[in-house]
Structure 1
Amino acid sequence: MKTFSASIRSTQQLFVSGILLCILLFSCKSGEKLYNKGRYDEAVTTFVKKLQRRPQDATALRMLPDAYTKAQQAHEDRVNEYLRSNNQLKWESVRNEYRTLQNLYNVIHNSPAALRVVQPKDYRDAITGAQENAAEIRYDRGMALLDKGDKASARKAYDEFGATLKLISNYRDTKQRMDEAYQMGVINVVISEIEVRSPYFQFSADQFRDYLVRNLQQRNINRFVLFHDERIARSQNLRPDEYLELRFYDFVVGQTYVDRIQRDVSKEIVTGTYKDSTGREINIYQTVKATLFITKKTVVSKGVLDYRITDTNNNGQTLRTDRIPGSYTWLNQYGTFRGDERALSEEDKRLIGGRDEPPPPPQDLFMEFTRPIYDQLERDLQSFYNRF
């Protein structure tokens, strides 16, 4: 039994060794394939991984130096191409090339076996220099845009300063300049109070406007567009860039219509059975009838919202105007019947089960017919202010 167990262990060890040998051979072959395809960065990484597992691997030791030299030359050539170009943002591309080379440096330094055959170049100083040049370019572009003094340029400057901080988080006074660009580029939109002819519905109109302002503020349609309640803006002496004027008109709330409908219904029902001469069971049918008396009460509410967006910095120039209709119909049906209840359908029974109910108060009806108006207005504003 001991001899048999030892034999099994020996077989298992040979099997595992065979798998490891295949992996190593495949790894080496994979590195050679990458090298032959000109994918020198990947070849370097593959050869280094091979040496970490098998420090004396002849193929990896032989090919790694050449793979690194070719990878280094390819990136250096690209750096020189970028430096010769007229692209203002070339230093960001240069930095990316140096970062890739530094990654190769780090990979090789993690393997003592690889370091014996390759002395990689440290590009940390080159990365720092390229990053500083890139940040300076972005900063100067932002300042040039900021000096133009208009909102569109200020918004572009904001993005340039943001790119500067991504390169160097504490570069000069970039954070202060970025805040300055934002304040200069922001569009302050003041939403007007809504006047309605009937003071009875003023509270409902105010609810509509308050909900609109609050939702627009929370949704943050555009980072450069801020929405303000006219009352608050006035108390803070905030000067609007654009003014959104809202006005309800031609609205009817609570106009009631009553229709009375009489309808005859009938149905054939089985009232019993009998057996014919062959013994087969036959149903006995009877037609039952009833008359329905239905009262249908509807309350129609409808209206139109006019809105207009004007540019307060350009003599009140109209930027957008539109008219949005809305409607809501409240319905209540109930009834009675005369005749045989068995003639009624399930739908008829539900009507009979109803009762006369008063319509909602006018303020609620006002809010209902303004819901589709609100949804359309919000979509319009989102589309309009997404352009910034």
Structure 2
Amino acid sequence: MKTISRLRYFIYLSILFVGCTTGKNALQKGDYDAAVSKAVDRLRSSPQNKDAMAVLPQAFDLAIKTHLRKIDEAKVSADALKWETILYNYQRINQLSDEVNSCPSCLNLVPNPPKYVKAAEDSKYQAAEARYLLGERALRENNRQSAKTAYNHFLKAESFYPSLKGIKDKIDDAYWAAVLKVVVQPAIINSNTYKLSNDYFQQQVNNYLANYRGNTFVRFYSEAEANKQKIRADQLLELRFDDFVVGQTYVKERVEKLKRDSVVIGESRRGKIYGTVTATYSIFEKQVSSSGLLNYAVIDLNTNKVLRNQKLAGTYVWVDNWASFKGDERALDKQQYALTRKREVLPPPPGNLFVEFTKPIYTQLIDQINSFYSRY
């Protein structure tokens, strides 16, 4: 019984496999394009396959009629984008015909498959013209959102017909009408001592914003760039260090009593003498802490409204360790002894410490900018 069941299962799979590869199942489901493609593929490898030979002429005829019907329906519709539907269907007919032409045995079953090359080219032009008109209409609404819509229409028009007159200028016009222009004010700090370190922080921010790709429709400018290019900015991004402390120093000492047994402390006639050695071990840890607060604000220059105002905190702690001992050094392990050979070192210069605590602030700032401007 098991053998019969398995045989039936494999027969079923074989029938199913043949039906799929010849396009018979696709034809029965009304997917005529797929039926043509599967039948052509089958006939390329097996030119005398009866199922595929039966499927191809019927599926091809139904596929062409279906696409031509959709073309006729689209031509009389009021859809502004109807030419894209028409173009798609002409392209599908041409693709199906190319598939048949690439299979010698298929041409015996479907001689002279039709091609609509000129009709497809004309449809491309008509589709591009329709997108161009929609783009112009959206651009006349004179706001950023409609300019973005116009930009996408013009890009689509160019993809259909790259040589369409004036299309590149229209794309450019729409893009700049859609772009949100943001001027970035240099980070303010009330300290000449840390001016160079602050300039380094500002340069890092400027470099990121100069290469910003988070949103196509947002561009950042320094104040100098905006003035030079006569940019009429939409927003101002303000940065200001409200508060910071550099180089707060803390030194901690921890004392441990060390003891080690079974250490050779001498010799006698009978051999080595073992005993216990001890030491007082002092561990020193110096921490130099630096921290600050950056105020980050976004202001709408058309309304003077504050759109975002946040304080971003950053901290950097430099740490140094060394040790000393009194007593027998044999009470110390290797790591403990190595630390006693180390001497106290000077912390980095204040300017370097300033840069270090601004690094986490920079990371937070970039995250905030990416999040805020993703909505535009």
Quick one: distance in 2 between partners of 1:368 and 1:299?
12
**1:327-346 mapped onto 2 (5 Å cutoff):** 327-346=315-334
Tell me what 1:362 maps to.
350
| Deviation at residue 120 of structure 1 after TM alignment | 2.3
Tell me what 2:10 maps to.
none
How many pairs were matched up? 353
Deviations 1:218-260 (A, max 9, x none): 2422222222222343344433221111110221111222233
Tell me what 1:73 maps to.
65
- 2:201 counterpart of 1:208: yes
CA contact (8 A) 1:27 1:46 kept: no
Normalising by structure 2, we get a TM-score of 0.83
Tell me what 2:231 maps to.
238
| Deviation at residue 31 of structure 1 after TM alignment | 4.2
Tell me what 1:18 maps to.
none
- 2:181 counterpart of 1:188: yes
SS of the residue corresponding to residue 292 of structure 1 reads strand
Unaligned runs of 5+ in 2: 1-13, 266-272
Q: What is the aligned counterpart of 1:154 among 138, 142, 147?
A: 147
Tell me what 2:268 maps to.
none
| Deviation at residue 82 of structure 1 after TM alignment | 4.5
Paired amino acid for 1:356: E
Give the direction of change, closer, same or farther, for the CA distance of 1:28–1:139 in structure 2 (3 Å limit): closer
Tell me what 2:248 maps to.
255
CA contact (8 A) 2:33 2:96 kept: yes
Unaligned runs of 5+ in 1: 1-21, 273-283
Give the direction of change, closer, same or farther, for the CA distance of 1:86–1:322 in structure 2 (3 Å limit): farther
- 2:74 counterpart of 1:93: no
Paired amino acid for 1:364: N
| Deviation at residue 200 of structure 1 after TM alignment | 0.7
SS of the residue corresponding to residue 42 of structure 1 reads helix
Quick one: distance in 1 between partners of 2:73 and 2:330?
92
Give the direction of change, closer, same or farther, for the CA distance of 1:341–1:237 in structure 2 (3 Å limit): same
CA contact (8 A) 2:20 2:26 kept: no
**1:107-118 mapped onto 2 (5 Å cutoff):** 107-111=99-103, 113-118=105-110
Quick one: distance in 2 between partners of 1:333 and 1:227?
45
Tell me what 1:169 maps to.
162
- 2:299 counterpart of 1:306: no
Paired amino acid for 2:141: K
CA contact (8 A) 1:267 1:287 kept: yes
CA contact (8 A) 1:102 1:124 kept: yes
Tell me what 1:297 maps to.
286
Paired amino acid for 1:318: V
Deviations 1:188-211 (A, max 9, x none): 211112222211111211111111
CA contact (8 A) 2:22 2:42 kept: no
Give the direction of change, closer, same or farther, for the CA distance of 1:53–1:334 in structure 2 (3 Å limit): closer
Give the direction of change, closer, same or farther, for the CA distance of 1:376–1:47 in structure 2 (3 Å limit): closer
Among the aligned pairs, what percent are the same residue? 36
- 2:32 counterpart of 1:40: yes
| Deviation at residue 52 of structure 1 after TM alignment | 5.4
The CA RMSD over aligned residues, in Å, is 2.9
